[in-house]
Structure 1
Amino acid sequence: MFYWFLKWVAIGPLLRVVFRPQTFGADNVPPEGPAILASNHLSYADWLFMPLTLPRRVTFVAKAEYFTGTGLKGWLQKTFFSGSGQVPIDRTSGDAAAGALASAKRVLGEGGLFGIYPEGTRSHDGRLYRGKTGVARLALETGVPVVPVAVVGTDVVAPPGKKFGSFTRPIVRFGRPLDFSRYEGLENDRYILRSVTDEIMYEIMRLSEQEYVDMYATRAKDLAKEQAKDLAKEQARARAEEKAAEDSRRQAS
């Protein structure tokens, strides 16, 4: 009940009035029954705008720490994330990926919509990165359809590394449901898992019109950090050399 209050009475109308998000293909999402919504991930605001465009609740997984805090802050945090469609990752297996899969299966088993970001993390530069095969495993093990989703413009509203950005009208596009029943029983075949994941990512790329990079986003972020460090070192060395040259010229004069 709090979820509906949060979505329609509190945050929902405010986001609609201020940002006026545009929606295309919402009728591709089943009006009832389980489905996986596989989306690109540009900003922490994605999970606010995408569910806002649908009449049904969309559930995502979140860190368990958001649900176990104490005191007033802990209660507010738990209430917010629970009410906005988040569920804690089930880590009873000791594996975060397996825990997320277990949580997703529970949501889908109850006939719900489960939202997932196959890239595993936000894109740091606006490009679309290689999808992890968890989405394929989930689709094959549950037999539910996958609806590809593209969210555009949220990285302008809330850029990576910043809490606030600038104004734009976010766009949410829902593609036609993808049926992978032809691969039933092959959920442990890594080549099939990769093929299914790539098919999903292709549809997301087509909807989002992002440049695709055949590299995991986490690896790309690490490389970007390494390049930034190398650049900072090179700039510091150039400044030191320039200063040394200036000192030498002063001494000579």
Structure 2
Amino acid sequence: MRTPSALRLAAASAVAAATVLAAAATASAHVIVDPSSVPKDTTDQTFAFRVPNEDDDNSTVKVEIDFPTDHPVPSALVAPVPGWTDKITTTKLTTPIHTDDGDVTEVVSQIVWTGGQIAPGHYQDFTVEFGALPEGTDKVVFKALQTYSNGNVVRWIDEPQAGQPEPKNPAPVLTLTAATGDDGDSPSAAPGATAGVKPAPAAKGGSATTTTTTTTTAAAGGSDSTARGLGIAGIVVGVLGTVAGVLLGRRGRGGDAGTSA
């Protein structure tokens, strides 16, 4: 016979498991940039725009990432994503960005991926290497548009505000922390990255006016990645269930022993 304490323990374990699953689902629900925070003097850093599929019935078939033009990213390389084609739009600056290697006059303003699919219950990383980061700002806000196979478009464009609740569709935000004081080198882009626009490694401010477009095609084939968050949640749930079972079993054996005595 199960005691009230054992029942309470089992109920608590179930609630904890449900909380973990809910947290994992929430954490993976937004389009994000990963890593989400780096020092301002970071160079040659690989970032992944992680796009989860929130629709139970439709696949994601198009992803658009818009780069800021008020504080432009001075250089970027786009890695091929199996099964997807990337289209890179560049913008000419009215005020060049001055670097030790010369002036940067053209920057990436938009990348669009099409041709592939992100199935329900999966996510996809779209990888870009930044040769340098913007100066004069503590954050870089990217606006993302996610198109589903039924034609629905989710606009991840709302900028989170300090002290305010998170918006329904928050834009991916890269936070820039204090400079490290060294050369700021970070891991380079994944092997096989295809060139977008990478003029020079260091940056100062500038503003955008006109645009041109360059297209590169990613290699075909491959499959969607499985969601890490759900895997972790499953492990946690399994551990909680095992602990609850062991404790309930011990209490049951204790009660039987008392009855036979």
TM interval, shorter chain, is: under 0.3
What TM-score do you get using the length of structure 2 for normalisation? 0.26
The structure where helix makes up a greater share of residues is 1
Q: Which has the larger radius of gyration?
A: 2
Structure with the larger RCO, 1 or 2 (CA within 8 Å, 6+ apart): 2
What TM-score do you get using the length of structure 1 for normalisation? 0.26
